[in-house]
Structure 1
Amino acid sequence: MNLRDLYYLVALADHRHFGRAAAACFVSQPTLSTQIRKLEEELGVALVERNPRQVMLTPAGHAATERARRIVAEVEQLKEAARRDQDLESGSVRLGIFPTLAPYLLPHAVPAVRDRFPRLELLLVEEKSDVLMARLREGRLDAAILALPVEDEQLHSETLFEEDFVLAVPRGHPLAGREGLRMQDLDNERLLLLEDGHCLREQALEVCHLAGAHEKSEFRATSLETLRQMVAANVGLTLLPALAVKPPVAPSPDIRLLAFDEPPSRRIAMVWRRTSALDGFLRHLAGVFRALPGALFEYHPGPAAGTAANGASADA
C-alpha cells in the first residue's frame, strides 16, 4: 500500500466514477482502476461495487475511505508546514470562496491583498460552501471565506464583515415606490430563491420565515444573475446581497432596489483549521479583508436605484 493509492480511493469516493476520479488525479482510468483493485487485494475486502452507471462504496469501502481521508489530510498539512518554513508572504495560499460572494467581493479585495502581500500567490477556488468545507477539512484548501455559522470545532473563524440584504422588485411592482421598507411589508409575498444546496438560499429562507413571506417554489435559480433576470422580466421579487448591487455591477432600469429600515444581513468569516501551520499568516490575511470599507456591505438607495443586468454569474 502506498499513499498514492489512498489519494485514488478518496478521489473515487468523491466522484463515484472511475473516469472522473482518474482525471482529478491526473492519471489514466486503467491506472486508477488497477491500483484500486490492488488495494482491495492487499486489504482482502471489496471496497467498491462496480456497475456501468455508478461506482458505490461497500461498507468496508466507506470505513477505508474515512481513514484514507484523515491520512491524506495529515500528509497535506505536513506538506503545508514544510512549505511555510520558507517566507510566508512569498508562498501560495489556497483560498476558497462561495460563488454568490466571489465575483462581487474579489474585485475589491484582491487589489488590497496584492498591495499588502505583493509576493503572495493567491490561489482562488470558487465552490459551494459544503464543498469548500470538505476540502478545508481534507487539507486541500488553506482557508475559506464562508457565511456563518460554521459548525465544526476543528475550524477557527475570523469574522470579516456583515453584509446587508436588499429587496429587488420589478419596476411596476406595488412595493417599487416604497421607502423605508419594513420586514412585515414582505408578509405573504412569494420570493424567487436559488436552488437547494446554496447557502444564500438558506439565508433568504430564514428572512422569509421572519417576515411571513414564502418561496415561489415553481422556479429556482442556479445563480444570482438568473434571479436578477427573472425579476427584470416581472416574474417575481428576490433578496440580493449588498455587494451584488455595487459597482462594477451595472444597474438595470427594469429593477427597483429597496433598502430595509433594519436590514437583514449575513455574517461572513474566514475559516481555517485550528492546527494549520498558517494560523498567524491567515490572521493577517483576514485583516486585509476586514479592513475593506464598511460602506461596501451596506445599501443606500440613490436617485435612480437599480440593480445589475450584466453582473457576474454565481452559483453559491
Structure 2
Amino acid sequence: MELDQLRYFLQVAERGNFTRAAEDLAISQPALSRSIQKLEEELGQPVFERKARSVSLTDAGTLLQARAQQVLTILEDTKAEITDDGESGRVRVGAIPTIAPYFLPDVLRQFSEEFPKATLIVQENTTDHLIKSCTQGEIDLAILALPIPAKYLEVEELFDEELFLVLPPDHPLAEKTSIRLSDVEPLPFVLLDEAHCLSDNIVSFCRQRSFQPVSVEKTSQLAMVQELVSLSHGVSMIPAMAKNIDQCDRRVYRSFTGRRPSRTIAVAWNPYRFQSRLINAFRQQLRRTKQP
C-alpha cells in the first residue's frame, strides 16, 4: 500500500466522483482508476460502491478513510516537527470573506517581513468549510467570527468590533444625531446570504431586541451589500474593518445609541495537530495586529 494510493483514495472519497478527483489530482482518470483497483485488490474487497455518475464508500472504505487520514496526518506532522527551524516552512491560514480582505493584508505583510523564508498560503471560505479544513488538517489556522460550532478546535478570541449602520447619504436617518435600533425596524435590509455568519450576527442581535429584520435582497459579497445600499435598495450593518477602508461618498455609516451590535473575531486551530514555531509566531502576530 503506497502513500499516493491513500491520497488518491481520500480525494475520490471527498469528491464522490473519479473524474473530478482526477482533475483535482492532475492525473488521468484511467491512472486513478488503476490505483484504486490495485488498492482494492490488496485489501481483497471494494472500498467504493460504483454508481452511474458517482461513488460512495463501502463499510471497508469508511474504515480505510479514517485510517488513511490518520496515517497521512502522522506523517505530515512528523515531517513538520523534524524540519521545524522556526524560520522556514509554511503556514496555511483560512479566513471568512468578511475578514480576509480587510484584516489579513497587514498581518501577512508584517509576518512576511519578520519571517521572509516562510510560505504563507491563504484560503478564503465560509465558516463551515474552514472548520472542516481546520479539523482535517488542510489548514493550520482559521480566522472566524464567534460562535464557532466545533468542539474539537481550540479557540482564542482576538478582538470585538462594532457593526455600523450603513445608509445612502440622502436617507432621512443620515441626518439624525441619535439612531436607535427601533428606527430601522420598518426598513428593508440588504444582507449576505445564509452561508455567511455576518448575517447570523445581525439577525441574532435584532432578535434579541424583539424584531426580525426584513431582508429584501441577499448577496454573497460584502462589497455588493455596500453597493446595493448606495443604490437605495435598503440598509445594512457593516463591520468596522470594512467601514474603515471605505472611501466611497455614496454611503454613510452611523453608530447606534445604547448597546451597539458587534461581533467577536477569533482564531481557531486543531490542538491535535503539530503546531510549528512558525504557526505559533503567526498566532502571536494576530494578537499584536490592531483591528483595522
Common fold: TM-score over 0.5: yes
SS in 2 for 1:236: coil
CA contact (8 A) 1:186 1:212 kept: no
Distance in 1 separating the partners of 2:6 and 2:31 = 14
- Please say which of residues 204-213 and 52-61 is displaced more in the overlay: 52-61
Evaluate the alpha carbon distance shift between residue 114 and residue 40 of structure 1 in structure 2; reply closer, same or farther with a 3 A threshold: same
1:257 and 2:253 matched: yes
Q: Which residue of 1 aligns with 2:83?
A: 83
- Please say which of residues 184-193 and 130-139 is displaced more in the overlay: 184-193
Q: Which residue of 1 aligns with 2:69?
A: 69
**1:4 deviation in Å?**
1.9
SS in 1 for 2:138: coil
SS in 1 for 2:144: strand
Matched AA of 1:274? P
- What RMSD in Å do the two structures reach over aligned CA positions? 2.5
Q: Which residue of 2 aligns with 1:200?
A: 198
Q: Which residue of 2 aligns with 1:123?
A: 121
Q: Which residue of 1 aligns with 2:35?
A: 35
CA contact (8 A) 1:46 1:61 kept: yes
Distance in 2 separating the partners of 1:7 and 1:204 = 41
- Aligned runs of 1:37-56 on 2, under 5 Å? 37-56=37-56
- Aligned runs of 1:43-192 on 2, under 5 Å? 43-58=43-58, 60-84=60-84, 87-192=85-190
Cα deviation 1:254-297 (Å, max 9, x = unaligned)? x2211123322211122222134326543432222222235x3x
Matched AA of 2:31? T
1:275 and 2:272 matched: yes
Q: Across the two proteins, how many residue pairs are aligned to each other?
A: 291
**1:244 deviation in Å?**
0.9
Evaluate the alpha carbon distance shift between residue 183 and residue 154 of structure 1 in structure 2; reply closer, same or farther with a 3 A threshold: same
**1:224 deviation in Å?**
0.6
Matched AA of 1:36? I
1:3 and 2:11 matched: no
Identity over aligned pairs, percent: 33
Distance in 2 separating the partners of 1:257 and 1:106 = 23
CA contact (8 A) 1:193 1:215 kept: no
Distance in 2 separating the partners of 1:105 and 1:173 = 29
Evaluate the alpha carbon distance shift between residue 57 and residue 225 of structure 1 in structure 2; reply closer, same or farther with a 3 A threshold: farther
SS in 2 for 1:293: coil
Q: Which residue of 2 aligns with 1:266?
A: 263
- The equivalent position to 2:283 in structure 1, one of 286, 291, 310, is 286
**1:194 deviation in Å?**
1.5
Q: Which residue of 2 aligns with 1:244?
A: 242
Cα deviation 1:232-254 (Å, max 9, x = unaligned)? 1211111111111223x43242x
Matched AA of 2:137? G
Evaluate the alpha carbon distance shift between residue 77 and residue 153 of structure 1 in structure 2; reply closer, same or farther with a 3 A threshold: farther
Distance in 2 separating the partners of 1:215 and 1:232 = 19
Q: Which residue of 2 aligns with 1:308?
A: none
Q: Which residue of 2 aligns with 1:311?
A: none
Evaluate the alpha carbon distance shift between residue 122 and residue 183 of structure 1 in structure 2; reply closer, same or farther with a 3 A threshold: same
Evaluate the alpha carbon distance shift between residue 68 and residue 186 of structure 1 in structure 2; reply closer, same or farther with a 3 A threshold: farther
Distance in 2 separating the partners of 1:179 and 1:26 = 59
CA contact (8 A) 1:192 1:215 kept: no
Evaluate the alpha carbon distance shift between residue 216 and residue 153 of structure 1 in structure 2; reply closer, same or farther with a 3 A threshold: closer
CA contact (8 A) 1:93 1:122 kept: yes
**1:101 deviation in Å?**
0.8
CA contact (8 A) 2:97 2:124 kept: yes
Evaluate the alpha carbon distance shift between residue 240 and residue 122 of structure 1 in structure 2; reply closer, same or farther with a 3 A threshold: same
Give the TM-score of the pair, scaled to structure 2: 0.87
SS in 1 for 2:172: coil
**1:222 deviation in Å?**
1.1
Matched AA of 1:257? Y
- Please say which of residues 232-241 and 205-214 is displaced more in the overlay: 205-214
Matched AA of 1:111? R
Distance in 1 separating the partners of 2:32 and 2:213 = 45
